[in-house]
Amino acid sequence: MTAPAREFTHDGIAFGCDYNPEQWSPDVWDEDIALMGEAGVDLVALNIFGWSHLEPRPGEYDFARLDDVIDRLHRAGIRVNLGTATASPPAWLTRRHPEILPMAADGTRRFPGGRQAYCPSSPVFRDAALKLVAAVAERYGSHPAVALWHVSNELGCHNALCYCDESARAFREWLQARYGTLDALNQAWGTAFWSQTYGEWGEILPPRATLSAANPGQALDFHRFSSDQLLDYYRAEVEVIRPRSAVPITTNFMVTAHIENLDYWTWAGDMDIVANDHYLDNRLGDPTTELAFAADLTRGLSRGEPWLLMEHSTGAVNWQPLNLAKEPGELLRNSLTHVARGADGVCFFQWRASVQGSEKFHSAMLPHAGTDSALWREVIGLGATLDRLDEVAGSRVVADVAMVFSWESWWTANTESRPSQSISYLDQVHAAYDALHAHGCAIDIVRPGADLSAYSLVVVPGLHLVSEADAATITDWIHAGGTALITFNSGIVDEQDSVYTGGYTGPFRDALGLHIEEFAPVVPGVEVSLSDGTSGRLWSERSRATTAEVVATFVDGPSAGLPALTRNTFGTGAAWYTATLPTRDAYRGLLSRIAREAGVRAVAETEGDPASLELVRRRHDDGTTYLFVVNHGADAAEVTARGRELITDEGVAGVLVVPGGAVRVVKETTGDVAGIHREEVAE
């Protein structure tokens, strides 16, 4: 943390967008601002890619247009989330200083012409960028329209891993600070293997493309270094802004399925408010459940405090192989899923659809078709709905289930030489989350080592890398009476990516009561049968129970006859373990059973299958609660609730009917909240 946090305050739920007026002429700005008023937009991110406009030549600033746009927005009562304009260096900078261009692992430079064409470790880039930040902060730091600073944009989206000589130099410095001596580094990276021992610091390089598999310890530290470098860059911008402005500062995270390079657990404490960009990834089997997971993880980063959804899309994106349009109503469902899970702001990329540039086929709030479009009407509808939900702002989600998530496990579990390329860390995380979500449980996503005392159930999917200390926070909690599910590929390596020996799961071994000898991955597409009638996929292990009760064995496959599902009484708690990836239904059944054992309740009682619903409750400190129900299904759902539904403004006297595809938010009648819980989670 570089300075005490400043609070971002807003009247109700913020509704906004990225706005790129530089792509349009001033007469369009007036129309834009009028339409923003019609939609209820009240927070606009500006100047994200402004560098070449603000500083057309080195040291020569031109703020005329930005002054004008900010003033127009201010006159319309719209607040500004002001970009520092450093997201993409101008052509004059990369021409004068081609050494700032990032280098890929194969040693080739990346040319300008896209965006983020800079090495995060480049002092030349930093110097030029910070001069601009100083000028922008000086000029707008006290402007009454500016409500939030937006540092750069999605730091590390394209350039997180740079392999140039400047990065090599910075990497060595980082390693010297971490290890002190070359002996310690050689030990940590296991360089005795393949004659990799370093005799001088100058021999160390980033993990550039090699002929064979690279050193995984080096790759892990390069990930850590790269994440730290960008955080350091964020801090450098913040240090320039703080003395010039009292406005809170943040940057937009990318908590999403396809970006893995930043360890946001180490970043989050620096943000005055956590902000996230999320796009549905239709390459995933279940994009909306991933959305729920990402929103819960963002809330975890925010330590439960409300956060901002800084970007998502009204419809299709432009960067997937197939860019699906949203179904009618999906925009509202997506947006309110974020709000249900703690967002106090819903913003989009972008306001008006571009007609030029590589994002011209990306959806926007105001589409190419203009206001005579279903999409625009949905945008207007969303704005009106958010207005009705203003009173929810500031409330928090209360969860009794925690799931442990780790970027370091993501990086290391997906190492290039591993037992099976057919399963990744996120596959395990998403599968476990889906199983909990299907029961309507409220789930907090926490970092390894987090205090677990508030939870009834902890799920630890594939926590490949874990320190002894962080594992102890989990096993001590179990010992003291907690119930946990730990899944395969957990506790495999320590902080140095060195394997724990003596039977896999290392620091979880005693809690699990298992001696695991060998991984035996399952061929993709083949299901293994378990003795309890369920099936598993992709993984099995050869193990024996030491103290655990074997709940199910593998009936066939490479580990036939051996434990597949176990439960160990540990202290006064219970540690469950699955040695395979259960099929979706099996996983839901398993977590239903474990949740029931742990006394975990669904957020609300429903008629039928809660799997197609989002059920989340937000609570104000004064005890006022809001039950969010998002119905992804085609059929109406019935949920037990009492109070006033805020979107339809109707009373709810016991049963809330949520039409297929609709969203409802009930301000619950005080005193009845406990009564609407089921005593037990659904079967």
Catalytic residues: 154, 311
Q: Distance between CA atoms of 580 and 240, rounded to whole angstroms? A: 50
> Does residue 658 bind ligand GLA (CB under 6 A)?
no
> Does residue 267 bind ligand GLA (CB under 6 A)?
no
CB closer to ligand GLA, 353 vs 581: 353
> Does residue 277 bind ligand GLA (CB under 6 A)?
yes
> Does residue 153 bind ligand GLA (CB under 6 A)?
yes
CB closer to ligand GLA, 314 vs 475: 314
Look up tokens 């989670």; give the residue: 681
To the nearest whole angstrom, how small is the minimum distance from the Cβ of residue 47 to ligand GLA? 12
Q: What is the DSSP letter of 342?
A: T
To the nearest whole angstrom, how small is the minimum distance from the Cβ of residue 115 to ligand GLA? 8
In this structure, the strands spanning 613-619 and 396-397 are: antiparallel
To the nearest whole angstrom, how small is the minimum distance from the Cβ of residue 294 to ligand GLA? 13
To the nearest whole angstrom, how small is the minimum distance from the Cβ of residue 253 to ligand GLA? 10
Could you give phi then psi for residue 45, rounded to 5 degrees?
-85, 125
Binding-site size for ligand GLA (CB under 6 A) equals 9
In this structure, are residues 484 and 458 in contact, taking their beta carbons and an 8 Å threshold?
Answer: yes
CB closer to ligand GLA, 231 vs 317: 317
In this structure, are residues 227 and 265 in contact, taking their beta carbons and an 8 Å threshold?
Answer: no
> Does residue 264 bind ligand GLA (CB under 6 A)?
no
Q: 422-438 b/e with 16+ CB inside 10 Å = b?
A: ebbbbbbbbbbbbbbbb
Could you give phi then psi for residue 576, rounded to 5 degrees?
-90, 155
In this structure, the strands spanning 249-250 and 146-150 are: parallel
- Using only the alpha carbons of the chain, give its radius of gyration: 26
Within 13 Å and on the Cβ side, how many CA atoms surround 364? 22
CB closer to ligand GLA, 19 vs 225: 19
SS (H, E, C) 447-479: CCCCCCCCCCEEEECCCCECCHHHHHHHHHHHH
To the nearest whole angstrom, how small is the minimum distance from the Cβ of residue 272 to ligand GLA? 19
CB closer to ligand GLA, 267 vs 279: 279
To the nearest whole angstrom, how small is the minimum distance from the Cβ of residue 365 to ligand GLA? 13
In this structure, are residues 164 and 124 in contact, taking their beta carbons and an 8 Å threshold?
Answer: no
With 0-12 / 13-18 / 19 or more C-beta atoms within 10 angstroms meaning exposed / middle / buried, residue 203 is: exposed
Could you give phi then psi for residue 292, rounded to 5 degrees?
-60, -40
CB closer to ligand GLA, 353 vs 639: 353
To the nearest whole angstrom, how small is the minimum distance from the Cβ of residue 194 to ligand GLA? 39
Among 32, 42, 55, 154, binds ligand GLA (CB under 6 A): 154
To the nearest whole angstrom, how small is the minimum distance from the Cβ of residue 15 to ligand GLA? 17
To the nearest whole angstrom, how small is the minimum distance from the Cβ of residue 524 to ligand GLA? 30
Closest CA to 422 of 514, 540, 311: 540
To the nearest whole angstrom, how small is the minimum distance from the Cβ of residue 318 to ligand GLA? 7
CB closer to ligand GLA, 111 vs 361: 361
Which positions from 359 to 398 touch ligand GLA by CB under 6 A, shown as an x/- string? x--x------------------------------------
CB closer to ligand GLA, 24 vs 179: 24
Residues 6+ apart with CB under 8 A from 605: 639, 640, 676, 677, 678
CB closer to ligand GLA, 169 vs 360: 360
CB closer to ligand GLA, 338 vs 362: 362
> Does residue 166 bind ligand GLA (CB under 6 A)?
no
Q: 153-180 b/e with 16+ CB inside 10 Å = b?
A: bbbbbebbbbbbebbbebbbebbeeebe
Token representation of residue 96: 């004068």
Among 264, 349, 504, 539, binds ligand GLA (CB under 6 A): 349
DSSP 133-194: HHHHHHHHTT-TTEEEEE-SSSTTTTTS---SHHHHHHHHHHHHHHHSSHHHHHHHHTTTGG
Q: What is the DSSP letter of 242?
A: G
Cα four-point dihedral sign 121, 123, 127, 132 = negative
Site for ligand GLA in 308-327 (CB under 6 A): 311, 317
Residues 6+ apart with CB under 8 A from 160: 120, 226, 227, 230, 261, 262
Token representation of residue 538: 């992709």
The amino acid occupying position 635 is D
To the nearest whole angstrom, how small is the minimum distance from the Cβ of residue 130 to ligand GLA? 21
CB closer to ligand GLA, 362 vs 567: 362
Q: 484-499 b/e with 16+ CB inside 10 Å = b?
A: bbbbbbbbbbbbbbbe
Q: Distance between CA atoms of 231 and 236, rounded to whole angstroms? A: 9
> Does residue 234 bind ligand GLA (CB under 6 A)?
no
Closest CA to 144 of 69, 36, 71: 71
Chain residues binding ligand GLA by CB under 6 A are: 153-154, 277, 279, 311, 317, 349, 359, 362
